Structure 1
Amino acid sequence: MKLKALVLVPLAVSALALTACSSDDGGDALDTTSCAPVPQGFSGQPTWTVDGTSGKATFAVTDDAKNAAPKIDLSTPFKVDQTQVKTLKQGSGAEVTDASTVTVCYEGVNGTTGKTFDSAYDRGAPEQFPASGVVPGFRKALVGQKVGSTVGVVIPSADGYPQGSGDGSINPGDTIVFGLKILGIEG
């Protein structure tokens, strides 16, 4: 639940009670109830490579049909000076807007340490939150994407946590990296 504490503005009690569902727009039916970690032994080809101002990040789509996490490999310290977003696999569902409440599987990695600081994939369950309620870089990874999309994003400190996170897992100046899959939207 770190993402809620780190990224999200406080949610109303009613928002916490929302169930994981998506708008029915004729897109592929998605499992909106589970997330899975990167399959053991996965060594697929990179889908996206980002050369940072220092270090390198690579993303590879794993078993997307089972909502498995994209594999993220970093050479640390990894830093970027601007947010970069890449659709690793295009979904066919409705488009996320600022007004959407999204259901997402995600993993966040600190570019300085290479350590995962939050992962719905590791918890095995997606999170649901308003697209407008996250740090600017994460919002850029959501808005405009379609349900079913798997997305990679690298976020400099200015679009993430310029003062660091309250729990100390992200320090001032740290780049953060997310791999995510959008499972559904409301609104």
Structure 2
Amino acid sequence: MFLIGRLLSFMAKFSSVIGTVCVVMMMLHVTADVVGRYVFNAPLTGTIVIVANYYMVLLVFFAIGVAEEKRAHISVEFLTDMMPQRAQTGFSLLSSALTVGVITIVMIGGYTEAMKKTSAGATMEQGSSMLSVWQSYWAVPIGAALMGLIALYRMLVLITGWRNGLKETDIDAKFIND
């Protein structure tokens, strides 16, 4: 089980790298568009479509798995911290089960939509050009699947007491929280 956690952490790290690349590419793309538009009077075709339908979508949906691994989603623990450990474990299991259930619905819905858009060859008009956008729809089920797998794994570790292989916190985050 520990190796499964390591694999999930590797997948989350890979997603994080993809997100980082998207941020850098988005920054460069928008900067090039602004320079082209205002300095050379020649904007880049499709900047809005590419930024909104590729960079942003990949960044958001690939990051949700990373946030799940690092336990970085918003949580309010002021009441549960005062409860006995057994109650805290129960709430943690309930939270993970709800997360797995909701994100599975998102994953299935995203997969269904991605299949429709892929078979239709979805495009968007940008100026006088048509840009293909069906590929970006696959970020939703992929990112949701990663988040769901990590939440399910965390649930199994909590129930069985096995060693957790996830890299849940960074050293910097632990320092900041102290």
User: TM over 0.5, yes or no?
Assistant: no
Shorter-chain TM band: under 0.3
More helix by share: 2
Larger Cα-atom Rg: 2
More strand by share: 1
- Normalising by structure 1, we get a TM-score of 0.23
